[in-house]
Structure 1
């Protein structure tokens, strides 16, 4: 838990780069677990710093008995990764219930120039709506092997997300992981919230295929670099002078994926990745919240990926010199990578726009130098000391890839300069209109004036109405994370009728019996029934194992609609709602969509679940003002034994006097 003075907008002490001792006799084992090796401020210290890094690498490899055998096959690298919400509207058509992998891949190509791998995210923050664990949200999607294969046909590797924090790492959890890996045909496993996988997991995956990749979150322990070929660079703060990523320096073929998931500006991690020749993770839909990338950052990443692919051998070269060949202006920095005697410099501009010399190198001008990012020739002149000055125009925040000219230069389109955030609004989708001139039998009338309705919710990473709750924060932590907060919603005057209790099994059976209704995706539909009807003795219990589309279909057949979240709350606050046993969440007519994610609101709470976690949807009886955002899943996964619904209808043709409003 953070200290009382914790500032969520600045890195924590454990995230800061580690200073490298420069004394010849210094004990360098103290920096074994650093995230980033900080660079000295004084360029005069850079040669000693590089020498210390080389000594640390040699000593650390000997100290742990490093075995690099798993890195022999470099074809399995995945430099640019995307975190993919499994029910993203690019990937899943909610209307037809079909996955659309080609559409998703086309979107990635258009926006980012493609990617090398995707991590499939499937369950959090829906966990807790009932006792299912996160494995079930993979296991119960029958066509998921075909989805994985479709990505792979596009040359994109696919990784399964595994939450050890929820299921543990015991034999039962490992059996579930390996069963899914085998069933789905994925290329590896991502460990949510864990830096390293258990030895048991590695052995189990090796029994399937030793080439399967394990990727941990944050810094991978030095001893595990040998068997975890990738890691997440989340919460990695760089030094003022760009530093070196410890795991990448230790093993050139190790891929770290830089990610700052709540940021709208990704220049810092892009620059760090480019100077370190390592990966980036794009995460546009974060737990159902839109945090898209601006045009400048998308174009920078597109250019980086193109060079990572065309010059892959350079970026895993043993001959890597960080902070190489600088003129010392304090703006432009470079790394030099040599492969088969040919140098490549990755260059970043961390200051204002420059137009002049970026690099000062040994040798002769010869055929000249080019920037492979822009596709343009660079200015190269012999300096008074005999060295070569290389440069040209480089915009603020820009990058370059400098190589010796050879053959015809391929022209490249200009990179976008705009860092404007591409916002998406989560707009409410219009529900059906139903009206009555009098209160239908079995329903109760509710009248309320226009008011500011107070809504409370738990401040989770998914937000409530599409807002980004932790924008630009370094790492959200309790007590701010998961605290109960409130907002005020202006609500017009209401006059409607609502069912006092949830729709029952018997009532829903009357609907299915009369209409023969079957959903497009039948998974889990009425899973608690037997032979197409309620089990004896359950007729008066609330119907469950229905999702929003099923509830809407029933309401439409009954000439009604679902209650909105505001109507539900107002009616409950007036004491006009009953809660049947067992207690179940109530769906509401509150669907929102931002073009990538759909969600709707649950009200009322449900029976208390035996396993309670801050990372789960809350359970138990909740006050009327409490709302919970439920992400809309596909393949029937929203159908739960803990979710039901009730109906409502607008009342019209009656004058409502001020005195008729309930207190």
Structure 2
């Protein structure tokens, strides 16, 4: 018989009675209001109803009715689910129950990998998180979107192509483990348009995670990872923490999805997490990736005894945590880690009564001890008698965990009335013990006492973007005469209008690029400029031309993985002499340009050469013409680009060929403290199907792609080539 974890005999009896009578009864919970991922507070905590209907007090009887219905609903759901919490008892996954802080970290983050040194810098990355917000418990290493789909490499190929390949990735994971941090990678079930891995996602994912010794999987866009992912991991002896992007689509999925992200509502009175209420050992990481102020999200997490997704590098867009929020995360996480055994209590009581409206508490009893987590949702500080412990055990001791001091209760009969302070929009915690403090409890109080000497509200809450800089492109020796294979682009006053095609980010500050004349990064750009005359390659650099460079210089990149990947024995395939060279990174293209006495074009030079001064949409005019570009390749295996000049009717006003639709073309690079990205122009012939999340095309003259840069092995692509320019006298 399935053992019931929660509930009352009366509720079970009522259900059984209804069944025995042949009734299709639906138990009613009139005081409960459920949202998709939460359960709303008792009505008496609704500040809106307080203002409209006058004073409304949360009576003990009303609260007990609400709590009884909460427990009854949970028991009912467990029966209907046939719920088993066996996965939460698995020793290999116990760590999930105290994994409170987890960033999603783009693999391109400059704190994570040093391209100049050619090595992972895990310690630098972790030291930065510890300095700014107290460190992390797990990390989600994002290696796919936004770049996936630029060629046919699938999500598993992109792990294999990380610097150093699988051996280095496994060592990098071990470096995180050495610092006590668990490692997640995402799985993209929508990635069905790139190379076929030849096996189901769940098997491929389980095998890859075992190979690199990762600890968990995040299900991108998923409201629950199917049981097949759990079964595949268990079968090969490598259990994984499964973490869907949102609350499991069906409550039953809680049985094997031991973690999740929280995209909740954030009212004045915090909602109760549905998954946490159904399974107190379930860990939710509340996500607030675009918000500049994290207070609502952090307070909702602390009230529910769950964690926070400290996500800052959002698809290569830096949304940094403010000093105020960083300190709030540090304090919240320190308390949660210290109180972790309490925060999985089966007898959790949200909305334990406090003595002050706007102060919300959760009660976490554990044997003869207990803890309370409290959040002040008001703009002002609260002091004095804030918590009444009903029928306090004789001899119990109480501690203000947040300030790290013992409390002296005022006894009112059997009740212990506790006085302490909670700052505006602040956090509080109370610990009740029977006997002496343990060593870990003493350590927690000492840490918190030192940490809270400075008021939380004194830390700056001002948010600032990270400024970007353009990587300099050195001028060439001016060419007095026409260089072979180049066309002269005349000087002009040019209105440079372009926008980024990023799928996410809207028009938030920080999205896309910051040109040298702009005060901040943004998606839409409009600038009138004087473009000096220059020479541009009429055609893209071909395999034959790159072979001359290789023969003359014997160029060998330090990171050679994927370099000229489609060549064999030092040369290109037969009949590819006039095809544009691909599988060359930005560094490789720059090396060729230097050897040729040329340089890569600035983006505005590239666009002017493609567009002229009449603001045309495409190089050939204002209407799309499929006959002027290669036929799109929508298959799962990459073919090859067309030969240069094969589509002469697609030429620009100046006669420049293949500006659009054959291969992407390297231009400028921008970077800030955490991110690097290249401006790619022209789009390519490859269009993997099946998902809107693949790297989008930029065929119009006024659009560009933002390609995140990590290391040459990852950056090189079968659809990216280049052309050069030379300065004119």
Q: 1:383-462 residue pairs with structure 2 within 5 A?
A: 387-404=415-432, 409-410=445-446, 411-413=449-451, 414=454, 415=456, 417-442=459-484, 443-461=486-504
Q: Say which is worse superposed, 517-526 or 425-434, in terms of deviation.
A: 425-434
Give the corresponding residue for 1:614.
Answer: 692
Aligned-residue Cα RMSD (Å) equals 2.8
* 1:203 pairs with 2:225: no
Change beyond 3 A, Cα 1:504–1:612: farther
Provide the secondary structure at the position in 2 that maps to 1:46.
helix
* 1:37 pairs with 2:39: yes
Matches of 2:140 and 2:662, distance apart in 1: 36
* 1:324 pairs with 2:352: yes
The equivalent position to 1:491 in structure 2, one of 529, 552, 567, is 529
The equivalent position to 1:373 in structure 2, one of 390, 402, 420, is 402
Change beyond 3 A, Cα 1:491–1:128: farther
Give the corresponding residue for 1:231.
Answer: 260
Q: Say which is worse superposed, 411-420 or 180-189, in terms of deviation.
A: 411-420
Matches of 2:367 and 2:414, distance apart in 1: 25
Matches of 2:232 and 2:34, distance apart in 1: 28
Change beyond 3 A, Cα 1:434–1:262: same
Give the corresponding residue for 1:554.
Answer: 592
* 1:112 pairs with 2:133: yes
Matches of 1:581 and 1:348, distance apart in 2: 55
Determine if contact 1:96/1:520 at 8 Å carries over to the other structure. Answer: no
Q: 1:155-166 residue pairs with structure 2 within 5 A?
A: 155-166=180-191
Q: 1:500-539 residue pairs with structure 2 within 5 A?
A: 500-539=538-577
Q: 1:45-444 residue pairs with structure 2 within 5 A?
A: 45-72=62-89, 73=91, 74-77=94-97, 78-141=99-162, 142=165, 143-167=168-192, 171-209=199-237, 211-220=239-248, 221-234=250-263, 236-327=264-355, 329-352=356-379, 353-362=381-390, 363=392, 369-378=398-407, 380-382=409-411, 387-404=415-432, 409-410=445-446, 411-413=449-451, 414=454, 415=456, 417-442=459-484, 443-444=486-487
Determine if contact 2:320/2:465 at 8 Å carries over to the other structure. Answer: yes
Matches of 1:582 and 1:460, distance apart in 2: 20
The equivalent position to 2:682 in structure 1, one of 591, 604, 607, is 604
Matches of 1:25 and 1:455, distance apart in 2: 59
* 1:591 pairs with 2:612: no
Provide the secondary structure at the position in 1 that maps to 2:203.
helix
Matches of 2:362 and 2:177, distance apart in 1: 32
Deviations 1:483-533 (A, max 9, x none): xx8531343332222111111111111111111111121111001111112
Matches of 2:116 and 2:177, distance apart in 1: 25
TM-score by length of 2: 0.79
1:47 offset after TM fit, Å? 2.2
1:75 offset after TM fit, Å? 3.5
Matches of 2:260 and 2:198, distance apart in 1: 22
Matches of 1:240 and 1:464, distance apart in 2: 28
TM-score by length of 1: 0.86
Provide the secondary structure at the position in 2 that maps to 1:530.
coil
Determine if contact 1:289/1:463 at 8 Å carries over to the other structure. Answer: no
1:265 offset after TM fit, Å? 0.9
Matches of 1:630 and 1:354, distance apart in 2: 49
1:40 offset after TM fit, Å? 2.0
The equivalent position to 1:579 in structure 2, one of 654, 658, 682, is 658
* 1:629 pairs with 2:706: yes
Matches of 1:349 and 1:546, distance apart in 2: 55
Change beyond 3 A, Cα 1:348–1:554: same
Matches of 1:641 and 1:87, distance apart in 2: 19
Deviations 1:345-400 (A, max 9, x none): 111111022223321223389786432223245574346x7744323332211101
Matches of 1:508 and 1:466, distance apart in 2: 39
Provide the secondary structure at the position in 2 that maps to 1:307.
helix
How many equivalent pairs are there?
610
Matches of 2:178 and 2:671, distance apart in 1: 30
Matches of 2:564 and 2:30, distance apart in 1: 62
Determine if contact 2:96/2:259 at 8 Å carries over to the other structure. Answer: no
Matches of 1:285 and 1:511, distance apart in 2: 38
Provide the secondary structure at the position in 2 that maps to 1:160.
strand
Provide the secondary structure at the position in 1 that maps to 2:63.
helix
Change beyond 3 A, Cα 1:161–1:446: same
Change beyond 3 A, Cα 1:302–1:643: same
1:248 offset after TM fit, Å? 0.6
Give the corresponding residue for 1:639.
Answer: 716
Matches of 1:464 and 1:332, distance apart in 2: 36
The equivalent position to 1:26 in structure 2, one of 25, 28, 38, is 28
Determine if contact 2:96/2:283 at 8 Å carries over to the other structure. Answer: no
- The structure where helix makes up a greater share of residues is 2
Matches of 2:549 and 2:302, distance apart in 1: 60
Determine if contact 2:664/2:681 at 8 Å carries over to the other structure. Answer: yes
Change beyond 3 A, Cα 1:190–1:113: same
Change beyond 3 A, Cα 1:355–1:170: farther
Change beyond 3 A, Cα 1:493–1:308: same
Change beyond 3 A, Cα 1:300–1:379: farther
1:137 offset after TM fit, Å? 0.7
1:29 offset after TM fit, Å? 13
Give the corresponding residue for 1:656.
Answer: none
Matches of 2:420 and 2:688, distance apart in 1: 65
Change beyond 3 A, Cα 1:355–1:33: closer
Matches of 1:59 and 1:110, distance apart in 2: 45
Determine if contact 1:612/1:618 at 8 Å carries over to the other structure. Answer: no
Determine if contact 2:488/2:533 at 8 Å carries over to the other structure. Answer: yes
1:64 offset after TM fit, Å? 1.7
Matches of 1:462 and 1:278, distance apart in 2: 27
Matches of 2:534 and 2:30, distance apart in 1: 72
